[in-house]
Amino acid sequence: MRIAILGAGAWGSALAINLSSYHQINLWTRNSHHAAEMVATGINQRYLPHYVLPKTVTVSAILADALKEVDFALIVVPISGLRETLREIIVSRIKLPLLWGCKGFEPSTAKLPHQIIQEECPGRMSQCGVLSGPSFADEVARNLPTALTLASTDIEFSKQLAASLHSSKLRIYTSRDVIGVEIGGAIKNVISIAAGISDGLGFGSNARAALITRGLSEITRLGLKLGGDLKTFMGLTGIGDLILTSTGQLSRNRRVGLMLAEGKSIDEILAQLGHVAEGVHTTQSVLQLGDQLNIEMPITQAVYSILHERVSPRSAVEVLLNREQKTETY
Protein backbone atom coordinates (compact mmCIF):
# COMPACT_ATOMS: atom_id res chain seq x y z
CA MET A 1 0.00 0.00 0.00
CA ARG A 2 0.98 3.63 -0.38
CA ILE A 3 0.18 5.60 2.78
CA ALA A 4 0.29 9.34 3.45
CA ILE A 5 1.32 10.10 7.03
CA LEU A 6 0.39 13.69 7.77
CA GLY A 7 2.51 15.06 10.60
CA ALA A 8 6.25 14.51 11.01
CA GLY A 9 6.57 14.69 14.76
CA ALA A 10 8.02 11.77 16.73
CA TRP A 11 4.88 9.64 16.36
CA GLY A 12 4.37 10.26 12.66
CA SER A 13 8.03 9.59 11.91
CA ALA A 14 8.06 6.42 14.03
CA LEU A 15 5.01 5.08 12.18
CA ALA A 16 6.63 5.98 8.85
CA ILE A 17 9.76 4.02 9.77
CA ASN A 18 7.82 1.03 11.08
CA LEU A 19 5.27 0.78 8.28
CA SER A 20 7.87 1.36 5.55
CA SER A 21 8.96 -2.28 5.93
CA TYR A 22 5.77 -3.28 4.13
CA HIS A 23 4.40 -0.11 2.53
CA GLN A 24 5.45 2.97 0.55
CA ILE A 25 5.17 6.03 2.82
CA ASN A 26 4.67 9.71 1.99
CA LEU A 27 5.58 11.70 5.13
CA TRP A 28 4.24 15.26 5.20
CA THR A 29 5.28 18.17 7.37
CA ARG A 30 3.80 21.64 7.18
CA ASN A 31 7.25 23.22 7.68
CA SER A 32 9.25 23.40 4.44
CA HIS A 33 12.55 23.91 6.31
CA HIS A 34 11.84 20.79 8.37
CA ALA A 35 11.11 18.83 5.19
CA ALA A 36 14.30 20.05 3.51
CA GLU A 37 16.32 19.10 6.58
CA MET A 38 14.90 15.56 6.58
CA VAL A 39 15.49 15.16 2.85
CA ALA A 40 19.09 16.35 3.18
CA THR A 41 20.01 14.26 6.25
CA GLY A 42 17.60 11.33 6.10
CA ILE A 43 16.88 11.93 9.79
CA ASN A 44 14.14 13.77 11.68
CA GLN A 45 16.62 15.59 13.87
CA ARG A 46 13.95 17.68 15.60
CA TYR A 47 11.70 14.90 16.90
CA LEU A 48 13.26 11.45 16.36
CA PRO A 49 17.00 12.04 15.96
CA HIS A 50 18.34 8.52 16.48
CA TYR A 51 16.63 6.83 13.53
CA VAL A 52 17.29 6.97 9.80
CA LEU A 53 14.26 7.36 7.52
CA PRO A 54 14.22 4.41 5.08
CA LYS A 55 14.41 5.02 1.35
CA THR A 56 10.77 3.89 1.05
CA VAL A 57 9.77 7.08 2.92
CA THR A 58 9.26 10.16 0.73
CA VAL A 59 9.24 13.48 2.62
CA SER A 60 7.27 16.49 1.39
CA ALA A 61 5.98 19.85 2.60
CA ILE A 62 3.35 19.98 -0.16
CA LEU A 63 0.14 18.30 0.98
CA ALA A 64 -1.22 17.60 -2.51
CA ASP A 65 2.00 15.77 -3.39
CA ALA A 66 1.85 13.71 -0.21
CA LEU A 67 -1.76 12.69 -0.94
CA LYS A 68 -1.21 11.82 -4.59
CA GLU A 69 -2.06 8.20 -5.49
CA VAL A 70 -2.16 6.97 -1.86
CA ASP A 71 -4.57 4.35 -0.50
CA PHE A 72 -5.34 6.30 2.68
CA ALA A 73 -4.07 9.13 4.88
CA LEU A 74 -3.11 8.81 8.54
CA ILE A 75 -3.30 12.18 10.33
CA VAL A 76 -0.96 12.46 13.31
CA VAL A 77 -0.68 16.22 13.76
CA PRO A 78 -1.35 17.63 17.25
CA ILE A 79 -5.08 17.91 17.96
CA SER A 80 -4.82 21.71 17.71
CA GLY A 81 -3.80 21.33 14.06
CA LEU A 82 -6.36 18.71 13.01
CA ARG A 83 -9.04 21.12 11.80
CA GLU A 84 -6.61 23.11 9.65
CA THR A 85 -5.17 19.91 8.15
CA LEU A 86 -8.66 18.66 7.25
CA ARG A 87 -9.45 21.95 5.55
CA GLU A 88 -6.28 21.66 3.48
CA ILE A 89 -7.23 18.12 2.46
CA ILE A 90 -10.63 19.41 1.33
CA VAL A 91 -8.99 22.20 -0.67
CA SER A 92 -6.78 19.62 -2.41
CA ARG A 93 -10.00 17.94 -3.72
CA ILE A 94 -8.37 14.56 -3.13
CA LYS A 95 -10.90 12.15 -1.59
CA LEU A 96 -9.52 9.15 0.28
CA PRO A 97 -10.06 7.11 3.47
CA LEU A 98 -8.80 8.77 6.67
CA LEU A 99 -7.30 7.52 9.91
CA TRP A 100 -6.27 9.79 12.74
CA GLY A 101 -3.87 9.29 15.63
CA CYS A 102 -4.43 12.70 17.26
CA LYS A 103 -5.07 12.50 21.01
CA GLY A 104 -6.88 14.93 23.27
CA PHE A 105 -9.56 17.60 22.95
CA GLU A 106 -9.37 20.61 20.64
CA PRO A 107 -8.30 23.45 22.98
CA SER A 108 -10.75 26.07 21.68
CA THR A 109 -13.84 23.83 21.54
CA ALA A 110 -13.17 20.82 23.85
CA LYS A 111 -14.18 18.57 20.94
CA LEU A 112 -12.82 15.11 20.20
CA PRO A 113 -11.17 14.33 16.84
CA HIS A 114 -14.19 12.53 15.38
CA GLN A 115 -16.39 15.55 16.18
CA ILE A 116 -13.98 17.84 14.34
CA ILE A 117 -14.03 15.50 11.34
CA GLN A 118 -17.84 15.41 11.37
CA GLU A 119 -17.90 19.21 11.30
CA GLU A 120 -15.27 19.70 8.62
CA CYS A 121 -16.12 16.65 6.47
CA PRO A 122 -19.87 16.02 6.86
CA GLY A 123 -20.93 12.50 5.99
CA ARG A 124 -17.36 11.18 6.08
CA MET A 125 -17.50 8.86 9.12
CA SER A 126 -17.54 5.81 6.86
CA GLN A 127 -14.06 4.98 5.56
CA CYS A 128 -12.69 6.77 8.62
CA GLY A 129 -11.25 5.64 11.95
CA VAL A 130 -8.96 6.28 14.89
CA LEU A 131 -5.66 4.48 15.56
CA SER A 132 -4.54 4.50 19.19
CA GLY A 133 -3.02 2.40 21.95
CA PRO A 134 -0.09 2.03 24.35
CA SER A 135 2.87 3.01 22.17
CA PHE A 136 6.00 5.07 22.63
CA ALA A 137 7.34 6.45 19.34
CA ASP A 138 10.89 5.36 20.13
CA GLU A 139 9.88 1.71 20.55
CA VAL A 140 7.70 1.73 17.42
CA ALA A 141 10.65 3.11 15.43
CA ARG A 142 12.82 0.29 16.86
CA ASN A 143 10.20 -2.23 15.67
CA LEU A 144 9.63 -3.54 19.18
CA PRO A 145 6.35 -5.45 19.76
CA THR A 146 3.41 -3.04 20.01
CA ALA A 147 -0.38 -3.46 19.95
CA LEU A 148 -2.80 -0.78 18.76
CA THR A 149 -6.55 -0.49 18.25
CA LEU A 150 -8.16 0.71 15.03
CA ALA A 151 -11.72 1.84 15.76
CA SER A 152 -14.32 2.78 13.17
CA THR A 153 -18.09 2.82 12.96
CA ASP A 154 -17.53 1.17 9.57
CA ILE A 155 -16.49 -2.26 10.83
CA GLU A 156 -15.65 -3.66 7.37
CA PHE A 157 -13.35 -0.71 6.75
CA SER A 158 -11.57 -1.25 10.08
CA LYS A 159 -11.15 -4.98 9.44
CA GLN A 160 -9.71 -4.48 5.95
CA LEU A 161 -7.33 -1.72 6.96
CA ALA A 162 -6.23 -3.45 10.17
CA ALA A 163 -5.42 -6.59 8.17
CA SER A 164 -3.24 -4.51 5.83
CA LEU A 165 -1.34 -2.78 8.66
CA HIS A 166 -1.06 -5.77 10.99
CA SER A 167 2.32 -7.49 11.45
CA SER A 168 4.01 -9.67 14.05
CA LYS A 169 5.59 -6.60 15.67
CA LEU A 170 2.71 -4.15 15.16
CA ARG A 171 -0.49 -5.96 16.10
CA ILE A 172 -3.69 -4.15 15.13
CA TYR A 173 -6.98 -4.94 16.89
CA THR A 174 -10.34 -3.62 15.69
CA SER A 175 -13.19 -1.92 17.52
CA ARG A 176 -16.44 -0.08 16.81
CA ASP A 177 -16.01 2.25 19.80
CA VAL A 178 -14.49 5.43 18.32
CA ILE A 179 -15.56 7.57 21.30
CA GLY A 180 -14.18 5.21 23.93
CA VAL A 181 -10.84 4.88 22.14
CA GLU A 182 -10.53 8.68 21.85
CA ILE A 183 -11.50 9.28 25.49
CA GLY A 184 -8.98 6.74 26.78
CA GLY A 185 -6.21 8.22 24.65
CA ALA A 186 -6.98 11.75 25.84
CA ILE A 187 -7.56 11.53 29.59
CA LYS A 188 -4.73 9.08 30.34
CA ASN A 189 -2.33 11.97 29.72
CA VAL A 190 -3.86 13.94 32.59
CA ILE A 191 -3.55 10.98 34.97
CA SER A 192 0.03 10.46 33.78
CA ILE A 193 0.92 13.98 34.92
CA ALA A 194 -0.55 13.16 38.34
CA ALA A 195 1.46 9.93 38.51
CA GLY A 196 4.64 11.86 37.67
CA ILE A 197 3.91 14.36 40.43
CA SER A 198 3.37 11.53 42.91
CA ASP A 199 6.63 9.83 41.91
CA GLY A 200 8.49 13.14 41.96
CA LEU A 201 7.32 13.83 45.50
CA GLY A 202 8.55 10.39 46.56
CA PHE A 203 5.14 8.97 47.47
CA GLY A 204 6.07 5.47 46.31
CA SER A 205 4.57 2.59 44.36
CA ASN A 206 1.44 2.25 46.50
CA ALA A 207 0.38 5.82 45.76
CA ARG A 208 1.12 5.44 42.05
CA ALA A 209 -1.02 2.28 41.86
CA ALA A 210 -3.86 4.07 43.63
CA LEU A 211 -3.62 7.04 41.25
CA ILE A 212 -3.68 4.81 38.17
CA THR A 213 -6.66 2.84 39.47
CA ARG A 214 -8.69 5.85 40.55
CA GLY A 215 -7.61 7.63 37.36
CA LEU A 216 -9.10 4.78 35.35
CA SER A 217 -12.30 5.36 37.30
CA GLU A 218 -12.37 9.01 36.18
CA ILE A 219 -11.71 8.02 32.56
CA THR A 220 -14.47 5.42 32.68
CA ARG A 221 -17.07 7.66 34.32
CA LEU A 222 -16.62 10.40 31.76
CA GLY A 223 -16.21 7.97 28.86
CA LEU A 224 -19.43 6.10 29.62
CA LYS A 225 -21.35 9.36 29.92
CA LEU A 226 -20.08 10.43 26.50
CA GLY A 227 -21.14 7.14 24.91
CA GLY A 228 -18.05 4.94 25.21
CA ASP A 229 -18.14 1.19 25.90
CA LEU A 230 -16.95 -0.13 29.29
CA LYS A 231 -14.93 -2.90 27.58
CA THR A 232 -12.86 -0.28 25.77
CA PHE A 233 -11.64 1.23 29.04
CA MET A 234 -10.52 -2.21 30.20
CA GLY A 235 -8.51 -2.71 27.00
CA LEU A 236 -5.49 -1.41 25.10
CA THR A 237 -6.67 2.17 24.68
CA GLY A 238 -7.96 2.38 28.25
CA ILE A 239 -5.99 0.74 31.01
CA GLY A 240 -3.20 -0.30 28.63
CA ASP A 241 -2.37 3.22 27.50
CA LEU A 242 -2.90 4.56 31.04
CA ILE A 243 -0.37 2.13 32.57
CA LEU A 244 2.21 2.89 29.89
CA THR A 245 2.06 6.67 30.16
CA SER A 246 1.88 6.66 33.96
CA THR A 247 4.89 4.40 34.50
CA GLY A 248 7.08 4.49 31.39
CA GLN A 249 10.34 6.42 31.37
CA LEU A 250 9.63 7.69 27.83
CA SER A 251 6.32 9.33 28.81
CA ARG A 252 6.37 13.09 28.20
CA ASN A 253 3.32 13.66 30.38
CA ARG A 254 4.82 11.73 33.29
CA ARG A 255 7.98 13.81 32.84
CA VAL A 256 5.86 16.97 33.13
CA GLY A 257 4.61 15.70 36.49
CA LEU A 258 8.13 14.86 37.68
CA MET A 259 9.35 18.37 36.83
CA LEU A 260 6.30 20.00 38.45
CA ALA A 261 7.20 18.12 41.63
CA GLU A 262 10.67 19.70 41.41
CA GLY A 263 9.03 23.12 41.57
CA LYS A 264 9.51 24.09 37.92
CA SER A 265 6.87 26.23 36.21
CA ILE A 266 4.86 24.80 33.36
CA ASP A 267 6.40 27.33 30.95
CA GLU A 268 9.90 26.17 31.91
CA ILE A 269 8.88 22.55 31.52
CA LEU A 270 7.34 22.92 28.06
CA ALA A 271 10.35 24.88 26.83
CA GLN A 272 12.65 22.15 28.11
CA LEU A 273 10.61 19.31 26.59
CA GLY A 274 10.51 20.73 23.09
CA HIS A 275 7.61 18.35 22.29
CA VAL A 276 3.87 18.50 22.79
CA ALA A 277 2.71 17.07 26.14
CA GLU A 278 -0.98 16.61 25.39
CA GLY A 279 -2.09 16.33 29.01
CA VAL A 280 -1.23 19.96 29.76
CA HIS A 281 -3.80 21.25 27.26
CA THR A 282 -6.27 18.41 27.81
CA THR A 283 -6.74 19.00 31.55
CA GLN A 284 -8.92 22.08 31.18
CA SER A 285 -11.18 20.44 28.57
CA VAL A 286 -11.63 17.32 30.69
CA LEU A 287 -12.51 19.31 33.79
CA GLN A 288 -14.92 21.46 31.78
CA LEU A 289 -16.70 18.37 30.44
CA GLY A 290 -16.82 16.82 33.90
CA ASP A 291 -18.47 19.96 35.29
CA GLN A 292 -20.99 20.08 32.44
CA LEU A 293 -21.95 16.43 32.97
CA ASN A 294 -21.85 16.63 36.78
CA ILE A 295 -19.10 13.99 36.99
CA GLU A 296 -16.62 14.04 39.87
CA MET A 297 -13.00 14.28 38.58
CA PRO A 298 -10.81 14.82 41.69
CA ILE A 299 -7.47 13.81 40.14
CA THR A 300 -8.10 15.98 37.10
CA GLN A 301 -9.10 18.84 39.42
CA ALA A 302 -5.83 18.46 41.34
CA VAL A 303 -3.74 18.52 38.15
CA TYR A 304 -5.69 21.55 36.88
CA SER A 305 -5.08 23.43 40.14
CA ILE A 306 -1.33 22.86 39.79
CA LEU A 307 -1.16 23.78 36.10
CA HIS A 308 -3.54 26.74 36.03
CA GLU A 309 -4.12 27.98 39.59
CA ARG A 310 -0.53 27.89 40.87
CA VAL A 311 -1.35 25.50 43.69
CA SER A 312 1.80 23.69 44.83
CA PRO A 313 1.98 19.98 43.95
CA ARG A 314 2.24 18.98 47.59
CA SER A 315 -0.79 21.07 48.58
CA ALA A 316 -2.86 19.62 45.71
CA VAL A 317 -1.96 16.08 46.76
CA GLU A 318 -2.91 16.85 50.36
CA VAL A 319 -6.36 17.97 49.18
CA LEU A 320 -6.74 14.64 47.35
CA LEU A 321 -5.63 12.61 50.36
CA ASN A 322 -7.97 14.46 52.70
CA ARG A 323 -11.12 13.80 50.69
CA GLU A 324 -13.90 12.07 52.60
CA GLN A 325 -13.90 8.29 52.84
CA LYS A 326 -16.31 6.54 50.47
CA THR A 327 -17.19 3.22 48.81
CA GLU A 328 -15.07 2.29 45.81
CA THR A 329 -17.13 2.64 42.65
CA TYR A 330 -16.68 3.62 39.01
pLDDT for 330 beyond 90? no
**Residue 320: what pLDDT?**
82
Banded model confidence at residue 277, pLDDT cuts 50, 70, 90: confident
pLDDT of 261-273, one tens digit each?
999 999 899 888 8
Is pTM, for the whole model, over 0.85? yes
* SS3 category, 321: helix
Contact at 8 Å (CB) between 223 and 177? no
Contact at 8 Å (CB) between 280 and 266? yes
pLDDT for 324 beyond 70? no
Contact at 8 Å (CB) between 114 and 82? no
Instruction: Give the domains, in start order, of the chain with CATH numbers.
Output: 2-176 (3.40.50.720), 186-321 (1.10.1040.10)
pLDDT for 184 beyond 90? yes
pLDDT for 123 beyond 90? no
pLDDT of 227-259, one tens digit each?
999 999 999 999 999 999 999 999 999 999 999
**Residue 317: what pLDDT?**
85
Active site residues: 188
* SS3 category, 4: strand
Strands (E), 38-183: 43-44, 48-52, 57-60, 72-75, 98-100, 128-132, 146-151, 170-175
Q: What is the mean pLDDT of the chain?
A: 94
Please tell me the chain's helix, strand, coil percentages from 3-state DSSP, rounded to the nearest 5. 55, 15, 35
**Residue 281: what pLDDT?**
87
The CA–CA distances, whole Å, from 123 to 83, 127, 180, 223, 312 equal 16, 10, 21, 24, 46
Cross-strand bridge partners of residue 168 = none
In this prediction, residues 191-215 reach a mean pLDDT of 95
Q: What's the 3-state SS for 105-131?
A: CCCCCCCCHHHHHHHHCCCCCCCEEEE
H or E stretch covering 282? helix 278-292
HSE of 148 in the Cβ direction (CA atoms, 13 Å)?
28
In this prediction, residues 85-97 reach a mean pLDDT of 93
pLDDT for 66 beyond 70? yes
**Residue 271: what pLDDT?**
87
- Report the chain's C-alpha Rg in angstroms: 19
pLDDT for 168 beyond 70? yes
Residue 125: partners with Cβ closer than 8 Å, 6 or more residues away: 114, 117, 118, 153, 154
Q: Are strands 24-28 and 98-100 parallel, antiparallel or unpaired?
A: unpaired
